[in-house]
A and B are shown apart, each in its own frame.
Chain A
Amino acid sequence: MLTILALASIVLLGIVPQQSEAIVIYTGWERHALVGSDIRLSCSFFSWRWTSEDVTFSWSYRPDGARDSISIFHYTGGAPYVDNKGPFRDRLEFVGNPARRDGSILLKNLDYGDNGTFTCDAKNPPDIVGRASSVRLLVFEKVPIQAGVITGAIIGAVLGLLVLIVVIYYLMRFLVARRVFNLSVSKHGRKGKGKEGSQQRQLWRPPPVTLLPLTS
Chain B
Amino acid sequence: MLVLLAGIFLLHLASIILLLVATIDNAWWVTDTMSTDVWARWILNNGIWNHTDLPTGSTYPSDYLQAVQASAILACIFSILGLFVFVGQLFTLAKGQRFTFSGIFQLLACLCIMIAASIYTNIFHNDESSGQYGHCFILAWISFAFTFISSIIYFVLRKKTRD
Contacts and interface: CB of A to CB of B under 8 A. Distances in A.
Interface residues of A, number: 13
Nearest to A150: B66
B43 interface: no
14 contacts: A144-B62, A145-B63, A148-B66, A148-B69, A149-B66, A150-B62, A151-B66, A151-B73, A152-B70, A154-B66, A154-B67, A154-B74, A159-B74, A159-B77
B77 A151 contact: no
Interface residues of B, number: 10
Q: Please name the 4 residue pairs, one residue from A and one from B, whose CB atoms are nearest each other, closest first.
A: A154-B70, A150-B66, A151-B66, A151-B70
B105 to A, nearest CB: 9
Interface centre among B62, B70, B73 (most CB of A within 10 A): B70
Contacts of A159: 74, 77
Contact of A145 (B62, B71, B77): B62
B154 to A, nearest CB: 17
Nearest to B56: A144
Chain A binding site: helix, strand, loop or mixed by DSSP?
A: helix
Interface string B69-100: 11101100100000000000000000000000
A150 B70 contact: yes
Interface string A134-174: 00000000001101111111110011000000000000000
Contacts of B70: 150-155, 158
Contacts of A145: 62-63
A150 B73 contact: no
Contacts of B74: 154-155, 158-159
Contacts of B73: 151, 155
B106 to A, nearest CB: 14
B124 to A, nearest CB: 16
Contact of B63 (A150, A155, A158): A150
